[in-house]
Amino acid sequence: MRQLRAEAGQASAGKELRPQRQPILSVADIAPSGRAISPDLRRLLQRHAQVKRGTVALSSGDRDVPGIEIFPGLRYTETCVDWLTPPTIIDATFARMDPLHHDRLLHFDTETTGLAGGTGTRAFMIGAADWIDGRFRIRQLTITSMAAESAMLRAFAGWLSEDTVLVSYNGKCYDAPLLATRYRLARMPNPLLGLGHLDLLHPVRRHWKGQWENCRLATAERLLLGVVREDDLPGSEAPAAWLTYLRGGSAANLRRVAQHNAQDLKSLAGVLVHMAKMERCCRLP
Amino acid sequence: MAELLELNQAGALGVKAFTFDGDTPGDARQAIRLHGDIVVSNPDMLHQAILPHHTKWAQFFENLRYVVIDEVHTYRGVFGSHVANVIRRLKRVCAFYGVRPQFILCSATIGNPQEHAEALIEDAVTAITESGAPSGDKHVLLWNPPVVNPDLGLRASARSQTNRIARLAIKSGMKTLVFAQSRSMVEVLTKYLKDVFDHDPRKPARIRAYRGGYLPKERRAAEREMRAGTIDGIVSTSALELGVDIGSLDVVVLNGYPGSVAATWQRFGRAGRRQQSALGVLVASSDPLDQYLVRHPEFFQGAPPEHARIHPDQPLILLDHIRCAAFELPFVGDEMFGTEVATPWLDVLGEEGVLHREGDRWEWIADSYPAIAVSLRSVADGNFVVVDRTDGRQTIIAEVDYSAAAVTLYEGAIHMIQSTPYQVEKLDWEGRKAYVTRASVDYYTDAIDYTRLKVLDCFESSHAGCGHARHGEVHVVRRVPGYKKIRFYSHENIGYGPVNLPDQELHTTAVWWQLPQAVLEAAFEQRQQALDGFLGAANTLHIVATVAVMAEARDLQKSVGSGDGAWFVSADMRGRGQLRGSDGQPAALATDAPFTPTVYLYDAFPGGIGQSEPLFHRREDLVAQSITLIERCDCRAGCPACVGPVLAADEGAATTPKALALRVLALLVAL
């Protein structure tokens, strides 16, 4: 090991205490970059790291990610669909909020590299939807490289204004804190801070907990809106879909993630409108 | 913490000080992150909760001025090496927020406070070694329980003696604190004292127990009552050692040696009100280390010889923390992590698939939270969990390091948890699980451990008497073919059982002593005697070395073999050195074959944990201390406290195992 370190241009194992006394910067300055690592040590580390097979760079012919590239590594899609007719003023009493003009609503949902939380989880797709001239506008940002994350965060921040009211499903506990972390790591102000946020999970739970098998968005959309998804990619497979693409593999599942995300946004709006109307019916008599 | 709050209140300082630990309720955590001026936490919380979520602590980090690390003498060995890496991660996160906090470290007395502090924070420190606190006389009493059976070298139990001393002290009106090694021992001693002092239920209790596993509320109540002075005796585990404020006391009694001189002083330091004299009593148990220390009172005088050692660049520990660090912030370019360029380690993590390289940045990409899988107290290779199946239950009652599993969790092993014996019924090696049931047995088990070492590289060599001492890199193959059953107290060998486990291979560092063949042939009539002498010497050197580097006994291992891995020696059924070939089968050495037995002390972790170099530098000391240990031991022929257990048959032998070990050690004494 000592020899390996020597080969790698590092302090010898037996002398590790001495260089540490120097200010760390000077060590960084003088140390040649160590690319070498002894085969023995490498085997030890690999066994420990449970490297089963090297993550081979994939190569697929299907690399088609929808949308236009608005920044290197950042793709943008925009579609307008006819989807429900929202009342102009949304009665949000069910969510313990004042009535809202539907113009102010921005439905949003992120697709992330996992559920582990902490600073190591990121969003690779942000979908957001709003009502424009009676039609439902769905916009999605997808990064195809890590470096484009800041551009994506900047673009999303541009969609928010101070009177935007966010609509989400479990976004208060999941999407919003996750984005707050990403903005912090990118050294940008958090544009979500201080915005109104209508998280539909809580009112749905209050109404239907115990009546439904669970209160997931998929359950709510099926029972309230009659939505049946075809060829839906389960949310749990989204991280792998993006990672496969990132490593040079097929984009097929990444496109399915985008469809899944778009449907989530439509269902968000659907559940919101349903609950707002339900509230009014209940209160009328 | 109590003192902080008191000070704050007294001065109306308006400083917001909070504790952030495993007991902190979820709803209080956000307030602490946003409003805490002083946050009191521990390395585990920093490692698993704060650093991986540093963005939530952004405000706190942006204003961080001081990092105070108390009790740094406890951050040594494996744990200390982990903590040094947690500090590297902390500094890295601080740099992200543009701050460079000043570190303030406090330690109980150790031999190398400045060096140790510098190794921990990898920066220059100024040592302040004068204490300005007023203090009265301190009396230290080392108490070895009287011998009750001279033939077997059996002494009265430490428990009964501890109880007796505590009773006497409390009766004389002295506030007394008793430290016990396990939670169950706390309960036993508390009961004994309560039987004497708290038999009248109408009066307020005078005796209290304090240990982990109690609810925080209960512990706080005990602390308050101690500070208020309504309690006369408190019995505790090490839970009370660190930073818990209970006011001042007159007498501290330790039921058994706590593992290091520094920790002993730390606990003794609990006694002593301003300028009044105080008493610390160490009651030695039958453990070899205790018996060694109680015979070496010089250890407790003047500056203790112990040095705290860490090895933060231990490859597996380093890899684990680079993994955690990469989760916290991406690595960019040829970034250093401590003293190492991180790139080769990042490559390995890239191959594992947890990092993705883009340009010169390494980004975390996996859906996992690595800090959860990294324990600061082991060199992970997958810990084993111990599952209690007594009465159809399925309860996890303990975790065991991978490196210790083969010698403690084999099927048939008696595994002691808080002095309760459990028997291992089934070991699932792949699944890292051992299934146990509670057992009522009068014996414990000791793995027969065939270890074969091959020297790969010698770093340094020196003469040691007629032979040589060296340290360097070794390849260790360890096999556990069976185990011995040993009766409690008498340490008689009462049976054997077979073990069927895969060989353990280990690439690590070691220090070793060797004597040339000609010297041995002149000193010993038979080779067998030389082998027995080496086995005894190995046992003694191991005991002495464990104290010298403040190691946990299991972190440092011993072995006797040839210098080239051709054969090794283990104690056979009669306690005699049995030569075994590389296949582990008993072998006889041809009379013309080279004969150079070697005693090794090696780090029990892959890649080593940095103990062999300091041991090499203290090689002469270790041999000298080993000789003194054997000479001063009360046994006649040998016992677990010196050269290892001996059979009754050897008790009367003309040449005792003790004498043989002394002969080997004498040849290693520098001329």
Max mean pLDDT range (B149-163, B177-191, B516-530, B541-555) = B516-530
CB contacts of A31 in chain B (<8 Å) are 336, 341
Q: What is the mean pLDDT of residues B408-435?
A: 82
Percent of chain B surpassing pLDDT 70: 87
**Distances in whole angstroms, Cα of residue A55 to Cα of each of A115, A246, B349:** 22, 12, 10
Burial of B440 (0-12, 13-18, 19+ CB in 10 A): exposed
CB contacts of A3 in chain B (<8 Å) are 457
Q: Quick check: A114 and B352 CB within 8 A?
A: no
Q: Quick check: B319 and A42 CB within 8 A?
A: no
Closest-CA distance, A236 to chain B, in angstroms, reads 10
Query: Between these two residues, B219 and B445, which has the higher pLDDT value?
Result: B445
pLDDT of residue A262: 96
CB contacts of B343 in chain A (<8 Å) are 33-35
pLDDT class of B372 with cuts at 50, 70, 90? confident
By C-alpha distance, the chain A residue nearest B472 is A2
Residue B622 to residue B620: CA distance in whole angstroms: 5
Sign of CA dihedral B49, B53, B59, B65: positive
What backbone torsions phi and psi does residue B339 show, to the nearest 5 degrees? -100, 5
Q: Quick check: B365 and A119 CB within 8 A?
A: no
Residue B186 to residue B179: CA distance in whole angstroms: 8
Structure tokens that stand for B630 in this block? 């054997």
Q: Quick check: B606 and A48 CB within 8 A?
A: yes
DSSP string, B462-495: EEETTEEEEEEEEEEEEEEEEEEEEETTT--EEE
pLDDT in tens, B447-480: 877 788 888 888 899 998 889 999 998 888 888 8
Closest-CA distance, B89 to chain A, in angstroms, reads 13
pLDDT of residue A222: 93
pLDDT class of B45 with cuts at 50, 70, 90? very high
Closest-CA distance, A128 to chain B, in angstroms, reads 24
By C-alpha distance, the chain A residue nearest B473 is A1
pLDDT class of B670 with cuts at 50, 70, 90? low
Nearest to B365 among A10, A17, A243 (CB): A243
CB B570 within 8 A of CB B453: no
By C-alpha distance, the chain B residue nearest A73 is B358
CB contacts of B365 in chain A (<8 Å) are 113, 243, 246
pLDDT of residue B138: 80
Between strands A74-81 and B207-210, the pairing is: unpaired
CB contacts of A34 in chain B (<8 Å) are 340-341, 343-344
Residue B266 to residue B664: CA distance in whole angstroms: 37
DSSP string, B538-583: HHHHHHHHHHHTT--GGGEEEEEEETTSSEEEEE-TTS-EEEEETT
Residue A195 to residue A171: CA distance in whole angstroms: 13
CB contacts of B460 in chain A (<8 Å) are 14
pLDDT of residue A284: 47
Q: Which residues contact B175 (CB under 8 A, 6 or more apart)?
A: B229, B231, B232, B233, B248, B249, B250, B251
Q: Quick check: A146 and B122 CB within 8 A?
A: no
pLDDT of residue B124: 95
Query: Between these two residues, B256 and A264, which has the higher pLDDT value?
Result: A264
Closest-CA distance, B605 to chain A, in angstroms, reads 12
Between strands B251-255 and B278-283, the pairing is: parallel
Nearest to A147 among B53, B118, B358 (CB): B358
Q: What is the mean pLDDT for each group of 10 consecutive residues in chain A (285 residues)?
A: 46 36 33 53 70 63 92 96 89 88 95 91 96 94 96 97 96 95 96 96 93 92 91 90 92 95 96 86 54
Closest-CA distance, A66 to chain B, in angstroms, reads 22
Residue A157 to residue A106: CA distance in whole angstroms: 12
Nearest to A24 among B315, B336, B369 (CB): B336
Closest-CA distance, A81 to chain B, in angstroms, reads 34
CB B436 within 8 A of CB B443: no
CB contacts of A27 in chain B (<8 Å) are 336, 339
Q: Quick check: B369 and A120 CB within 8 A?
A: yes
Q: Quick check: A113 and B351 CB within 8 A?
A: no
CB contacts of A25 in chain B (<8 Å) are none
State whether residue B53 is helix, strand or coil.
Answer: helix
Q: Do domains B2-121 and B138-300 have the same CATH topology?
A: yes
Residue B616 to residue B463: CA distance in whole angstroms: 11
What's the count of helices (H) and strands (E) in chain A, helices before strands?
10, 9
DSSP label of B298:
G
Span of B270-274, B452-456, B511-515, B623-627 with lowest mean pLDDT: B270-274
Span of B36-50, B65-79, B125-139, B329-343 with lowest mean pLDDT: B125-139
Q: Which of B126, B351, B432 to mutate to test the interface with A (most CBs of A within 10 A)?
A: B351
Q: Quick check: A34 and B115 CB within 8 A?
A: no
| Fold classified for B138-300 | Rossmann fold (3.40.50)
Residue B112 to residue B351: CA distance in whole angstroms: 40
Q: Quick check: A17 and B119 CB within 8 A?
A: yes
CB contacts of B58 in chain A (<8 Å) are 184
pLDDT of residue A50: 64
DSSP string, B210-256: E-TTS-HHHHHHHHHHHHHT--SEEEE-GGGTSS-----BSEEEEES
**Distances in whole angstroms, Cα of residue A12 to Cα of each of A162, B118, B506, B607, B631:** 57, 18, 20, 14, 39
Query: Between these two residues, B566 and B99, which has the higher pLDDT value?
Result: B99
pLDDT of residue B602: 92
pLDDT of residue B639: 72
Q: Domain residues of chain B, as ranges?
A: 2-121, 138-300, 315-373, 384-438, 445-668
Closest-CA distance, B51 to chain A, in angstroms, reads 9
Nearest to A33 among B339, B341, B457 (CB): B341
Residue B81 to residue B591: CA distance in whole angstroms: 47
Q: Residue B584: is its pLDDT beyond 70?
A: no
CATH number of A68-283: 3.30.420.10
CB contacts of A10 in chain B (<8 Å) are 339-341
pLDDT in tens, B338-354: 988 999 999 989 988 89
CB contacts of A193 in chain B (<8 Å) are none
| Fold classified for B2-121 | Rossmann fold (3.40.50)
CB contacts of B508 in chain A (<8 Å) are none
Residue A67 to residue B636: CA distance in whole angstroms: 88
Q: Domain residues of chain A, as ranges?
A: 2-49, 68-283
Question: Predicted ipTM?
Answer: 0.84
Q: Which residues contact A15 (CB under 8 A, 6 or more apart)?
A: none
pLDDT of residue A93: 87
Q: Quick check: A116 and B358 CB within 8 A?
A: no
Q: Quick check: B123 and A55 CB within 8 A?
A: no
* Site of tokens 């406090």: B106
Q: Quick check: B356 and A247 CB within 8 A?
A: yes
CB pairs under 8 A between A and B: 158
Closest-CA distance, B344 to chain A, in angstroms, reads 6
CB contacts of A184 in chain B (<8 Å) are 55, 58
Best CA proximity match to A153, nearest among A187, A113, A103: A187
Closest-CA distance, B506 to chain A, in angstroms, reads 9
Q: Residue B518: is its pLDDT beyond 80?
A: yes
Q: Quick check: A8 and B344 CB within 8 A?
A: yes
Q: Quick check: B507 and A115 CB within 8 A?
A: no
Q: Quick check: A16 and B54 CB within 8 A?
A: no
Q: Quick check: B122 and A54 CB within 8 A?
A: no
Nearest to A114 among B316, B367, B608 (CB): B367
Q: Quick check: A24 and B365 CB within 8 A?
A: no
